[in-house]
A and B are shown apart, each in its own frame.
Chain A
Amino acid sequence: MRKLEFILRRLVSSIFVLIGVSIITFALSRVVPNNPAVLYIGPRARPEDIARVTKLLGLDQPLPVQYFIYMRDLLHGDLGTSIATKRPVLQEILDRAPASLELLFTGMFLVVVIGIPLGVLSARWQGKPVDLVTRTISIVGVSIPAFFLGLVLQIIFFRNLHWLPLAGQLNTDLRFTNPILPVTNFQILDALLTRNWVALKDTAVHIILPAITLAAYPIGLVARMTRASMLEVLEQDYIRTARAYGTKEFIVTYFYALKNAISPTLTVIGLTFAYALTGTFFVEIIFIWPGLGMFTVSSLLNIDYPAIMGMTLFGATAYVLINSIVDLLQAWVDPRINLV
């Protein structure tokens, strides 16, 4: 019942949040002096053509009217049509989302399997060389900007060592010799489901560098947060009691201590998931990853109003959803937490 009440409250407040985000984004995008009609019909259109297209796109209407029309269409699931690509914004998002989500999930997988164990190790061996190395890795991870790290990784692993590919999701030649048949539109998953082992290996290799680039900052953050929480928990009396009873250190650390220390880390993971959603923008540009990031960047540079609105609302919705899921997860992990 409490959880249901929590979900209801969160749903209602989310609606107000999204309305607020839409108003701010709408207003900000129109502050920049620009005529999207020029984007629509090209840079050398005649004044009368620009006037015609301005009317076609509804840009001659007062701003409140434009906003009302946008929100009315939004309630029908219509995010508008991209002025640059002339396709529905929703279609653009749906076409590109699988690539971004694939990168995102891979990155977050790395965050969980690397960040948490690093934090635990660092706490368990506090003051030892392992701790020093782990803390260095954490600091480097949170300090290096993603775009710089991506370029450095490309230079090292592609240009110098020739170990990994430069960019993209799949080797060009394989598109014609071993094409991946679309099932879910997630390349790695589709290659696995269709038993296209050649393409599976190639897509897995292609995702390594962008995933590491994306995960570097969250890994550092999660490792530090986990370390801090673990240090606090490892000082507790019940941990001392468990050790006194002769419980194996592995069980004490990973079953008793980590379970109680993970709560703040979960919050951080949730927030970094949301960060990574926008963090993919830089990564996708550098690695020519065909996801939402590239679309968003080009929309911003072109001042493509519908696309900017659509992507902002998508991002805001994702943030709200992820935060809600994280709160629910926390309550599940730690029953002491009061959701309401």
Chain B
Amino acid sequence: MNKRFYLFTLLMVAVLLMSACSPAGTATSVPTKPAATDAPVVTEAPTEAAPLVLKIASAAAITTWDPVKSFSTEVAYLDNMYETLLLTNPPGSAEKFTPVLATSWESNADGTEWTFHLRPNVVFHDGEAFTAAAVKMSIEAIADHGGAAFIWWMLDHVEVVDDLTAKFVLTSSAPIDWIASSADGSRIISTKALTAAAADPNYFEAPVDAGTGAYVLESYKADQEIVFDRFDDYWGGWKPGQFDKVFVQLVTEGITQQQLFDSGQVDLVTSIPKENVATYKDNPNVTYDVEPSFFNYLVFFNTLRPPLDNVLVRQALSYAIPYQDIIDIAANGLGTQSRGPVPQGVWPSSPKVKQYTYDIAKAKELLTQAGHPGGGFTLNMWYVSNNDTIVALVPLLKDSFAQIGVEVNLVPMLWGPLWEQAKADPANAYDINPNMYWPTYSDAGSDNLWSLFYWTKSPFFNLSFWKNDAYNALIDEAIAKTVTDPVTAQAKYVEAMNMLVDEAPGAFLFDTKAVFIIPKYIEGFKYNLNYPFVPYFYYQLTSTK
């Protein structure tokens, strides 16, 4: 009986398997990679002449190789393979922009038409010539379905005036020079590749490289390594000492990166643990470079949940934050207290934006005015558990709030679930959420100020769910005047930022600083805070080894 049962079951399984031989319901066409065993077997171990290799240990993961859809940490690599029309220079530079694929540009009086004159004799890695058609196709593809498509909200279309002239026609005024130099959302891609990608959404994942940059993607092993080769036909030319290849080892652990660096197995790293960075200050073999960065940390107060719907309570909490302790402990001293949500040095930051001070007495007084003498309530703080800085600062907030009688429950979560739950049911989400932000391009007015606090029906990053029509109106006016009247735009932005400080839908903790440890034999390194996720532009670097 048992044998019959098993044989019967086996027969059923066989029938099921035979049915599986029919075509699948939905086939996802994926480009196939060449089989590794296609390589011929050789009996002698080959020895090649050693190229000049730059070795980097990087924590930046790849979510996609698609330059249109990309909007994550792979920008560190894509921005070495692809180029934009312009590059925004660091604050304090003589010129605001560096021409890249565009050599000059101008706009009409009201900033609704921008004409870019393109660099001649540029070729893509796939051999195609760079023309205005590629600009049109790239930007319109990004505006349509790109990861950073939102930065092109004002684009009507791109016009091909001639092979080397492209005109951006907008529905309203906008600083296209800034937008066209964005790290994400402005890459110029060959039309051949874009046409192929239109037919196959996974075309670029093979991976395929269709940029004009100085380095070509040679190989990629997921979670392991990326190898770049120099592009011999690069329009910028090559000089002695520049690297022939770049080998990127994907290493998520900071301490492992540090060990690889100390042992000389890599030349550069991206994330040495904060607590160990200072040990390199007096190292004669490296340059210890501290730079302001695009990132800042803030705290969202959920204005939908009592008692945080009371501005006095939010102001009280803002006074109870130990700003300097947070910088010293959570950021290891690498930061400056924020003035609003715009990082200092980035448009439209201003020293006229107010700051809170750490004042427990003032905080208690405000709580009493709010009808909560001695505090006496509990708040839930949801925080991102895989951000070391946030993990370090939440106990400081909890401890400090306890001094004014406010109990805090700490709830660690991954970013995905946290964001999902918050947007799904804001009224029942957290009370407090410490977070980190950065602008997509060098206009933190239309990014930070809009994304973080401008009210929309479906919240984007307005994680305090704050609604203020006066604030929205100020932001609308400022955005409209950014190109035509930047002085007025700045004034509007400052007014909006001071409103944020007064109304306190969030508390603005600190702007970060980035530290770069560069061996003395590597020259040419220049950090550009407008490209915070691109620590190294490989083309700039040379070796004196």
Contact = CB atoms under 8 A, between A and B. Distances in A.
Check if A and B associate: yes
Interface of A: 5, 8-9, 11-12, 15, 32-36, 38-47, 49, 69, 72-73, 75-76, 78, 81, 84-88, 91-92, 95-96, 154, 158-159, 165-168, 171-173, 175-179, 181-185, 193-199, 285-286, 288, 290, 294-295, 298, 301-303
A42 B7 CA distance: 49
Given A42-B147, A92-B222, A166 B43 contact: no
Contacts of B39: 181-183
Contacts of A183: 37, 39, 41
A188 to B, nearest CB: 14
B224 A9 contact: no
B53 interface: yes
Contacts of A85: 62-63, 205, 222
Which residue among A43, A78, A285 has the maximum number of chain B CB atoms within 10 Å of its CB? A43
Interface in B434-452: 440, 451
Interface of B: 3, 6-7, 9-10, 13, 16-17, 19-20, 24-26, 28, 30, 33, 36-37, 39-48, 50-51, 53, 55, 61-64, 69-72, 145, 147-150, 202, 205, 221-225, 227, 245, 247, 249, 251-253, 256, 259-260, 263, 265-266, 386, 414-417, 419-421, 423-424, 440, 451, 458, 460-461
A35 B259 contact: no
A34 B417 contact: yes
Contacts of A171: 265
Contacts of B149: 46, 49
A177 B63 contact: no
A178 B46 contact: yes
11 contacts: A8-B6, A34-B414, A39-B63, A92-B222, A95-B222, A159-B259, A166-B263, A167-B260, A172-B265, A177-B47, A182-B37
Given A43-B71, A159-B259, 11 more contacts: A39-B63, A41-B147, A44-B148, A91-B33, A96-B223, A182-B37, A183-B39, A195-B43, A196-B45, A294-B223, A298-B223
Contacts of A298: 61, 223
Contacts of B259: 154, 158-159, 166-167
Contact of A166 (B10, B51, B260, B416): B260
A199 B423 CA distance: 53
B45 A12 contact: no
Nearest to A36: B416
Contacts of A196: 45-46
B63 A42 contact: yes
A9 B6 contact: yes
B270 to A, nearest CB: 15
A40 B24 CA distance: 23
Contacts of A182: 36-37, 39
Contacts of A167: 251, 256, 259-260
Contacts of A175: 227, 247
Contacts of A41: 69, 71, 147
Contacts of B386: 301
Contacts of A295: 222-223
A9 B202 CA distance: 42
Contacts of B42: 181, 194
Nearest to B245: A176
Contact of A5 (B3, B47, B440, B458): B3
B13 A15 contact: yes
B249 to A, nearest CB: 7
Nearest to B71: A42
Nearest to A171: B265
B17 A75 contact: yes
Contacts of B17: 75
B147 A45 contact: yes
Contact of A197 (B45, B205, B461): B45
Given A33-B420, A91-B33, A198 B45 contact: yes
A172 B274 CA distance: 26
A172 B30 contact: no
Contacts of B148: 44
B273 to A, nearest CB: 14
Contact of A84 (B3, B46, B63, B147): B63
A172 B247 contact: yes
Contact of B44 (A87, A172, A195): A195
A182 B41 CA distance: 8
Which residue among A87, A173, A195, A303 has the maximum number of chain B CB atoms within 10 Å of its CB? A87
Contact of A176 (B37, B45, B53, B256): B53
Nearest to A78: B24
A288 B72 contact: no
Contacts of A11: 10
A171 B145 CA distance: 41
Contacts of A35: 416, 420
A33 B421 contact: yes
A92 B205 CA distance: 13
Contacts of B10: 8, 11-12
Contact of A173 (B7, B36, B53, B63): B53
Contacts of B225: 290
A195 to B, nearest CB: 6
B84 to A, nearest CB: 18
A12 B12 CA distance: 10
Nearest to B415: A43
A81 B253 CA distance: 26
Contacts of A36: 416
Nearest to B420: A35
B46 A179 contact: yes
A295 B221 CA distance: 11
A181 B45 CA distance: 9
A77 to B, nearest CB: 8
Contacts of B46: 178-179, 181, 196
B48 A290 contact: no
A306 to B, nearest CB: 11
Contacts of A78: 24, 28
Contacts of A43: 71-72, 415, 419
Which residue among B25, B50, B423 has the maximum number of chain A CB atoms within 10 Å of its CB? B25
Contacts of A96: 223
Nearest to B23: A76
A181 B41 contact: yes
Which residue among A35, A39, A84, A86 has the maximum number of chain B CB atoms within 10 Å of its CB? A86
A65 B117 CA distance: 53
Contacts of B41: 181, 183, 193-194
Which residue among B16, B39, B222 has the maximum number of chain A CB atoms within 10 Å of its CB? B222
Contacts of A177: 47-48, 50
Nearest to A175: B247
A72 B460 contact: no
B419 A38 contact: yes
Contacts of B33: 91
Contacts of A76: 20, 24
Contacts of B63: 39-40, 42, 84-86
Given A39-B63, A39-B416, A12 B25 contact: no
A211 to B, nearest CB: 18
Nearest to B263: A166
B457 to A, nearest CB: 9
Contact of B47 (A33, A44, A84, A178): A178
